[in-house]
Amino acid sequence: MKKTLSLLMMVWFFSCQSPEVNQPTWINPIQEWRESDGILKFKVQPGDWSVLIQTSSQPILADYQVEEGELRIAYPKNRSFVVGQAYIVLELEEKSFAFPVILNPELGNGKLEDIRSPKTLNTDSSLVQQQMRYSFGKGGNLVPLESGELFEERYISQSDKVGTFAGESDTQLSSFYITAGTPESIPMTIQFDEIQNEFTVLAGPLRDAFQNQISNGTLLTFTIRNSGKTWIIEEVAREGFVRVRCSAERFEGASVHANVAQVFSETLILKKP
Amino acid sequence: MLWEDFIGKRLLLVALSLGLLTHGIIVYFTLPQTYDAFVHIFFADHYSRFWFEPWEYRWYTGFLTISYPPLVHQAVALLGKLFPFKVAFAIYAIIVYEALIIGVYRFTKMFYDKRTAGVAAILAVILSSLVETLHVYGQVPTLTGLALLLNSIPFLYQYLKSSDSRYLVLSLSFIAVVVSSHHVTAIFGMVFFIAPAMLMALVDWKEDLAEESLFKKFVPRLLMAAWEKKVEILLFGIIAIILAVGLIFPYWYWSKTDPISQVSIPHGSRDNFLEVTSSGLVFYIIPLLLILALLPAITFLITRHKRHLGWAVSFFLCLLFGSGGTTPLPKLMLGENAFNILTLDRFGFWASIIAIPYISHFLVSFLSGPIRQYWIGRFGETSHFLLSGLSGFSYLLFIIYIFHLASFRPLQPREVKIEPILNFLNRDDHMRWRYLTLGFGDQMAWLSANTLAATIDGNYHSARRLPEMTSRAVERLENAKYLFEEGMASLTDFLTDSEKYQLKYVFSNDQYYDPLLFYTGWNRTIRLENGIMVWEKGNISTIQPIQPKDIHPILKKAWGILPFTTVAVALLLTFLYLFHFKKSQTEMISPEIVERYPKPVIFLSAWMPFLIFSGFLTYLIYEMLLVDQRKDPESTIYAFYDHLDFQRFEEAFSYFKSGPDYSLDQYLLEKSVKDGGLLPSYAKLNQLEIDTLELGEDRIKYQVNTTWRTSLGPRYLEEEFVLEKNGSHWFILPPKLELEIPKNQVISYDYTLFKKMGKRVISAFPTVKDDRIKKPFAAFFQANLVERDGLTSITGELINADNNPITLALKAEVTFKNDSLAIFYPERKMHYNLAPKATTFFEIPLAKDSTQVYPIQSITLKAETDVTERGYIRGIRTGFEIKEENPNSYLLEIEMENPLTTEITIPGVLIAERDSLGRIIQVELETHPRSIRSGLGTSFRVDLEKKALESVVVEDIPIFLQINGQERSLVLKSWNTEQKIQLLPHCFISPEIYLQ
């Protein structure tokens, strides 16, 4: 009885063992796999195989078929992946086999990227901008530029005219901006409205050193001094002009000047004509 | 005996059912109003997420949860896997309360018969101290500790009497659960419960011992008895101490390695209850009113037999300690340090628990025992029935009052729906910064329990380690306004030094803080659907990783495994006891029967409950409904201001003398056109003094001097009122409104508003492809190190050199000659939001005597800029004139006019004083208490201390300048050196014009 039991145990034990999986044989081995190379073929033993293409960035589930002991893997033409070293990984049960291959997809012409730094220039500055150009192809792979380089870096002296400019890649995100600097001077005039009995102090046109109109919203401070009292009136520029109204009743005879940053206007006296 | 057994157990079942029906139904609704429930839920949430990791990063930049025994939190965490946390907490609380009722029943059996124990169980359902602990405080760990302790003590009692080691095991198994759930109960329980229980067991064990005279023979024989039981006592004591240390060893390790060194936090339980009656009500009267009412009976019962000697000492000591600072005795006995650390209400709570058997015994005697017989024999059954019914009824009303205490005296702000806040934190990577809540009450812990975002605040003060918190008596920042100067100073530190802790968002549920937030550089971002205003600060870096305080992995595992093991062992042993052991043992029946009560005790204890409870309720009703607040002119003024303070304008109006020309509509209309600004909208009344100007029989004129607390500091106001007597009541004559009307019917103003386009690629990726807007340009016009009377500060002037509005962050990194580094921030003396080409002065105060004590090597002023859409409009016209100048001060008259289409809520100016070379010596922020409506103006005077003459500009210490990480030089700007004072408008505009 004991012998029978031992025998049965042995049979049961070995029945749990799986047969060893044989290494597949690559029938049409290649070093570089292009779309034009078509299907990769492997001779495999029967079984429930699965296939991965392990690229340098992520694994790709491959389209494959197993027929009559031959495993056929189609080129992953609709997938995005990084060009370069990859492995064809064949798996059966717990066993896996990796075959190195270099993936070399068609990248197309690529999409030019134009990065500028600084993105915003101010005419108070040197107006020099750093540019970085490169081109993205299919799957985010870099495509050589016309010069054959992957990256081009250069410094550009921009013009002194303000505006929003399109970069070379001509997308909204590649726009760069040149904005007006500090006004060169603050011309100021005073007008008197007899009907309203008030002065209008007009500062402008406010232009920077390159005769660009200063930005809307720029704060200009009028300082009005009238018999010991000092008034600080802050107004913002609109289309290059700033105005402030002061009643003649309160401010006649007062001195007024304006300033933006470190630039001051001349001092005028509020007096009726 | 069989009948007693039957009635005792039946009463226990009644008590358990009553507990389920009352507390079970109501606890879910009362727990959001409690002080502690959400804190425990937060801890439970921690264990639910990280069972074996005690480092909790969400509060105070991180703390260890081993600072509190974990059992209750772990139990709620497990229940939380099946139910929502609030439900899980309520279920746990009910289970514990039921265990507590059983504990009280078993505990009382040591003292008296089973019927008394059954009554004690019912009393536990409605005992005010227990009701308050659950429904007002939400202290479920305390109840857990107590429930298990009371269940443990009878086993200890039996062990000492019988020396049967199985009782020792049972007792210790429950003690283990106590230790794992509430360390304070375990520690003090040893003193106030275990020791008296041991004494009682020894007295009951040694027959005739109780008959001996106290000092001659009782004490020596008691000591002899203890010596005879030394093995049992030592065995229990040593194992209990091993359990107390071993089971929560990480807690003791934490206490030793990271000791609490912080300024004591004031607690109402330490007040003199005669002076601070509100504290007395909450911490003494409510939990102990029944005990005080029955004190004669308790005193009689607890002192009539020597087996109660230990309980008598415990009871009276607890009663004394629980009285807080009413007498100097608790402080003398506990010592200054312990007195200032402990919350003393827990002693009163324990006194009430010790009193339960005695109260129950008196009740049994009064309702069906010798007192009843005496009373009926003397006064008849009807009077007994009426007195019993009325006393019971008034007590039940008192208990209902406690259940609804939160309605009568709101303990928490209104409920805040947290979902919009969670959505805000979850989107756009907002979780990468810390946040702070203001005006949430204990709901801040509920918010924390529902998010993985971290707050700089927290609700567990023992774990605070940030110096800004521990150096002041500030429990948490969230309710800083209730902590007066210290609270606001601590909050100001955090709002100013926000970069230090990566604090970027403030969720404000209380506009009291708005002025402080604005003037410390915060901007309103969005008002969430739940009404919470989100404030944001620019230029704050994301949370820097903090190395958790590491503890040994074995301790982490022990912390996660041992507490629940104690519960499993206790449950297993309990079942073994019930099914295999209990029936074979002698029943624990107390031999004590009280046949006679002294007459004074009978009368006092019979009448006092009814008189005290009905008197208390009558007083409450009187206070709420019947107080005549117009009985005299002073009461009228006090009540009027009270209503104004809480913005109950209709009630405030009722104090005006009524007349056809002054209706409620007219009053509200006048308020709407004249009242606005810091005082009417953002202040709380602090103090009120009345000076009589004219005194007549029916007419009186008062000057009312009020002090108001605001987030910008105290403000003072003087107002005059005339009051007239009408019948028996006094009324205020309506003040005459001097209406200011702008000249124009319609005014216009040209705003230039800016809008950041934000991310222009829809992507959840944090930085790449974001099309981030550039860091705007800024420049320093000047930067000076100024010294005066040992006080050092850095002053200067900055400009937004860009064409976009910016928000600024400025700090001074001071390197001392010993190579140490300190960082200082400008607090309120700066304009943080600047329109294009706008300038600001700044002043950064350094530490006192810093240049002498710690010689400075160099200073680096670092400015960071971000484009902002808010806070930069300051287009108010500001005029000033030096009305007086003397050697020490300037008297400035400031005039402000509002040309905007919106109200200027807090008119303010930033004043700079310059020296003869035009260098800025000091910067001051001055605000006006009342708002300015569109088209109108106001003027006020400011006394400015003159500092230029006595100050020295230190020129031999280099000041390096950096803007957005790049080194910069000063930009030259000329200045009229004759002009010593310069002003910039700096106003808070509360209408959300930027948010539209």
Running along chain B, 996 residues long, what does each successive block of 10 average in pLDDT? 70 94 90 90 95 93 91 96 95 96 94 92 94 92 95 93 91 94 85 92 83 77 89 93 91 81 79 89 90 93 90 95 92 87 90 95 91 90 91 90 76 88 91 94 94 93 80 85 86 92 94 93 92 92 86 91 94 90 69 82 90 89 81 91 87 85 80 78 89 90 93 90 90 82 86 81 62 84 90 93 93 89 91 94 82 80 92 87 92 93 92 92 93 90 92 92 94 82 92 68
Instruction: Decide if B891 contacts B941 (C-beta within 8 A).
Output: yes
Q: Taking the CA atoms of B188, B194, B200 and B203 in sequence, report the sign of the dihedral they define.
A: negative
Could you give the percent of chain A with pLDDT greater than 90? Answer: 58
Touching check for A180 and chain B: CB below 8 Å? yes
The one-letter amino acid code at A180 reads A
Task: Give the 3-state secondary structure of B575-622.
Answer: HHHHHHHHHHCCCCCCCCCCCCCCHHHHHHHHHHHHHHHHHHHHHHHH
Give me the residue from A217, A218, A262 closest to B972, CB to CB: A262
B574 Cβ neighbours under 8 A, 6+ residues apart? B170, B173
Q: Do B835 and A217 touch (CB under 8 A)?
A: yes
CA distance B910 to B521: 14
Q: Do B881 and A230 touch (CB under 8 A)?
A: yes
Instruction: Fill in the DSSP letter of residue B432.
Output: G
Q: Do B835 and A236 touch (CB under 8 A)?
A: yes
Q: How confident is the model at residue A35 (pLDDT cuts 50, 70, 90)?
A: confident
Per-residue confidence (pLDDT) for residue B995, from 0 to 100: 59
Q: How confident is the model at residue A1 (pLDDT cuts 50, 70, 90)?
A: low
Touching check for A232 and chain B: CB below 8 Å? yes
The one-letter amino acid code at A152 reads E
Distances (CA, A) of B45 to A80, B75, B310, B561, B927: 42, 11, 41, 17, 45
Which 3 state secondary structure label does DSSP give B162?
A: helix
Per-residue confidence (pLDDT) for residue B771, from 0 to 100: 65
Does residue A173 carry a pLDDT above 90?
A: no
Residues on chain A touching B983 (C-beta within 8 angstroms): 230, 232
Task: Give the 3-state secondary structure of B660-692.
Answer: CCECHHHHHHHHHHHCCCHHHHHEEEEEEEEEE
CA distance B930 to B311: 62
CA distance B809 to B965: 12
Instruction: Decide if B355 contacts B605 (C-beta within 8 A).
Output: no
Tokens of B748: 């216009």
> Which is nearest to B774 in space by CA: A123, A121, A174, A257?
A121
A63 Cβ neighbours under 8 A, 6+ residues apart? A73, A74, A76
- Mean pLDDT across the stretch A165-188? 89
Could you tell me whether strands A84-92 and A49-54 are parallel, antiparallel, or unpaired per DSSP bridges? antiparallel
> Which is nearest to B591 in space by CA: B106, B164, B114?
B114
Directed axis angle between helix B140-162 and helix B85-109, to 10°? 30
Touching check for B742 and chain A: CB below 8 Å? no
Residues on chain B touching A121 (C-beta within 8 angstroms): none
- pTM for this predicted structure: 0.87
Touching check for A121 and chain B: CB below 8 Å? no
Q: How confident is the model at residue A272 (pLDDT cuts 50, 70, 90)?
A: confident
| φ, ψ of residue B839 in degrees (nearest 5) | -115, 165
Q: Do A182 and B837 touch (CB under 8 A)?
A: yes
- Rounded CA Rg of chain A: 39
Which 3 state secondary structure label does DSSP give B629?
A: coil
- Rounded CA Rg of chain B: 34
CA distance A68 to B373: 105
Tokens of B795: 């002053």
B794 Cβ neighbours under 8 A, 6+ residues apart? B783, B784, B785, B786, B812, B824, B842, B843, B844, B846, B859, B861, B959
Neighbours of B818 (CB within 10 A): 8
Touching check for A182 and chain B: CB below 8 Å? yes
Q: Do A229 and B895 touch (CB under 8 A)?
A: yes
Give the distance from residue B833's alpha carbon to the nearest chain A alpha carbon, in angstroms: 13
Does residue A5 carry a pLDDT above 70?
A: no
- Give B183-206 as a DSSP string: HHHHHHHIIIIIHHHHHHHHHHHS
Give me the residue from A173, A219, A233 closest to B837, CB to CB: A219
- Give A99-157 as a DSSP string: EEEEE-----S-EEEEEEESSEEETTS--EEEEEEEEE-GGG-B---TTS-SEEEEEEE
Residues on chain B touching A214 (C-beta within 8 angstroms): 803
Touching check for B762 and chain A: CB below 8 Å? no
CA distance B909 to B936: 17
B883 Cβ neighbours under 8 A, 6+ residues apart? B891, B892, B893, B941
Q: Is B103 left (phi over 0), alpha (psi -120 to 50) or beta?
A: alpha
Give me the residue from A228, A236, A262 closest to B973, CB to CB: A262
Instruction: Decide if B58 contacts B159 (C-beta within 8 A).
Output: no
- End-to-end Cα separation, chain B, in angstroms: 80
Give me the residue from B801, B875, B971 closest to A235, CB to CB: B875
CA distance B108 to B197: 11
Instruction: Decide if A258 contacts A186 (C-beta within 8 A).
Output: yes
Beta strands in B109-155 (DSSP E): none
Chains A and B form CB pairs within 8 A to the count of 85
Give the distance from residue A225's alpha carbon to the nearest chain B alpha carbon, in angstroms: 9
Q: What is the pLDDT of residues A188-228, one digit of tens each?
A: 999 999 998 999 999 989 999 999 999 999 999 999 998 88
Give me the residue from B774, B799, B877 closest to A231, CB to CB: B877
Touching check for B118 and chain A: CB below 8 Å? no
List % helix, strand, coil for chain B (3-state, nearest 5): 50, 20, 30
Q: Do B985 and A235 touch (CB under 8 A)?
A: no
Residues on chain B touching A216 (C-beta within 8 angstroms): 752
Task: Give the 3-state secondary structure of B743-757.
Answer: CCCCCCCCCCCCCCC
B78 Cβ neighbours under 8 A, 6+ residues apart? none
- Give B934-984 as a DSSP string: TT-EEEEEEEEE--TTT-EEE-SS-EEEEETTEEE-PPP----TT--EEEE
Touching check for B972 and chain A: CB below 8 Å? yes
Q: Which residues of B579-592 are buried (b: 16+ CB within 10 A; e: fewer)?
A: eebeeeeeebebeb
Give me the residue from B805, B880, B985 closest to A230, CB to CB: B880
Give me the residue from B761, B836, B879 closest to A219, CB to CB: B836
CA distance B432 to B543: 6
Touching check for B27 and chain A: CB below 8 Å? no
Does residue A125 carry a pLDDT above 60?
A: yes
> Which is nearest to A242 in space by CA: A217, A273, A211?
A217
Touching check for B971 and chain A: CB below 8 Å? yes
> Which is nearest to B123 in space by CA: B140, B141, B100?
B100
- End-to-end Cα separation, chain A, in angstroms: 134
Q: Is A93 left (phi over 0), alpha (psi -120 to 50) or beta?
A: left
> Which is nearest to B452 in space by CA: B773, B48, B913?
B48
Per-residue confidence (pLDDT) for residue B738, from 0 to 100: 75
Q: Which residues of B339-361 are buried (b: 16+ CB within 10 A; e: fewer)?
A: bbbbebbbbbbbbbbbbbbbbbb
B903 Cβ neighbours under 8 A, 6+ residues apart? B676, B931, B932, B933, B934, B989, B990, B991
Q: Which residue in chain A has the smallest CA separation from B770? A: A173
Instruction: Fill in the DSSP letter of residue B323.
Output: T
ipTM of the complex: 0.78
Give me the residue from B771, B974, B985 closest to A232, CB to CB: B985
Longest dimension (CA), chain B: 104
Q: Taking the CA atoms of B683, B684, B686 and B688 in sequence, report the sign of the dihedral they define.
A: positive
Give the distance from residue B972's alpha carbon to the nearest chain A alpha carbon, in angstroms: 7
Touching check for A260 and chain B: CB below 8 Å? yes
Directed axis angle between helix B2-30 and helix B114-126, to 10°? 10
Q: Do B973 and A220 touch (CB under 8 A)?
A: no
Q: Is B439 left (phi over 0), alpha (psi -120 to 50) or beta?
A: left
Structural element, H or E, at residue B230: helix B230-247
CA distance B537 to B868: 10
Touching check for A233 and chain B: CB below 8 Å? yes
Residues on chain A touching B781 (C-beta within 8 angstroms): 262
Instruction: Decide if A119 contacts A125 (C-beta within 8 A).
Output: no
> Which is nearest to B518 in space by CA: B531, B506, B528, B529?
B506
CA distance B566 to B559: 12
Which 3 state secondary structure label does DSSP give B731?
A: strand
